[in-house]
Amino acid sequence: MPDNNNVNFLIVGAGRGGTSLMAGLLDYHPKLEVGFELFSVAYLMGKELPYQGDGMFHQRATAFISACKQMAGNHPNSLWGNKITTEQLFGLEDHNAANPGQTINVLDTFFNDYLKNTKIIFILRDGRTCVNSKVRRTGQPMEMACKRWKYSVECYQFFSNHHANNLCVRFETLLHQPQAVLMEICQFLGVQYEQTMLDGVGNKKLSPEYINEKIDTSKTKQIELPDEFFSMIEDDLKYCGYI
């Protein structure tokens, strides 16, 4: 049975990295309830919180977790989770920028201390297609898009090496082998796989631009970046096994 009033799982990945698709699919499971970036901008990024100096990290982390737990309590018969992007998660790093003499390991403290009982589903996407999508869809400069994807790899490294309660999946595998990936995730979460999850591509919680009748495998088409920007992410692409 789910632990009522608890954050059972988080879906984490880069913006334009597949978190929305993952959330839409999992949310269509009858025993799962997924929030779509609830409280992350307000609290992780601090948009609705006053500046608290050396208490910034604690204030943001506890506000986010408290709000998530309250939302989870509204769904006592489901495992409740939330999906966040690594860009939103990076908001917690503001603490270190504002307090250079009191730095903390943000990822370790947040996930291994504050959320130690929460399962993490991390989704990784090829940096070339992810960066291209960021630029095309959000208009952000390519250099910034590269830096943001590189932080998602930093998160991927953390979960792979320093977190015991996670499952890392690839966006490309999800698109081409959705049933196999979803079965793996269901086993990780402790629920039975349901075929209806595949219909989550039409989940009305998704932004209209993401809603589809079927999974769009064309999103895995390889993209080449200009040499200047490819060189920025080349080492991370190698680390992740994309080149």
Residue 124 has pLDDT above 80, yes or no: yes
Residue 37 has pLDDT above 80, yes or no: yes
- Of the chain, the percentage scoring pLDDT greater than 70 comes to 98
DSSP 41: I
Q: Once rounded to an integer, what is the mean pLDDT over residues 141-168?
A: 98
**Tell me, what's the pLDDT at 209?**
87
Q: CA nearest 83: which of 28, 163, 19, 26?
A: 19
Q: Once rounded to an integer, what is the mean pLDDT over residues 200-219?
A: 93
pLDDT digits (tens, 9 = 90+) for 38-64: 999 999 999 999 988 899 999 999 999
75 vs 210: CA distance, rounded Å: 25
H-state helical runs in 41-126: 56-72, 86-89, 94-98, 106-108
Q: Once rounded to an integer, what is the mean pLDDT over residues 103-115?
A: 97
Q: How confident is the model at residue 3 (pLDDT cuts 50, 70, 90)?
A: low
Q: CA nearest 220: which of 11, 26, 21, 27?
A: 21
H-state helical runs in 141-210: 142-162, 171-176, 178-189
**Tell me, what's the pLDDT at 165?**
96
Q: Burial, 54: exposed, middle or buried (Cβ in 10 Å; 0-12, 13-18, 19+)?
A: exposed
CB of 14 closer than 8 Å to CB of 132: no
State the average pLDDT for the chain.
Answer: 96
**Tell me, what's the pLDDT at 186?**
98
pTM: 0.96
**Tell me, what's the pLDDT at 1?**
46
220 vs 41: CA distance, rounded Å: 28
Q: CA nearest 108: which of 100, 116, 119?
A: 116
**Tell me, what's the pLDDT at 52?**
85
Q: Beta strand 9-13 with 119-124: parallel, antiparallel or unpaired? A: parallel
CB of 186 closer than 8 Å to CB of 192: yes
122 vs 84: CA distance, rounded Å: 10
Task: Give the list of residues 6+ apart from residue 94 with CB closer than 8 angstroms, or none.
Answer: 45, 46, 56, 60
**Tell me, what's the pLDDT at 2?**
52
Residue 6 has pLDDT above 90, yes or no: no
pLDDT digits (tens, 9 = 90+) for 20-34: 999 999 999 999 999
Q: Once rounded to an integer, what is the mean pLDDT over residues 94-119?
A: 96
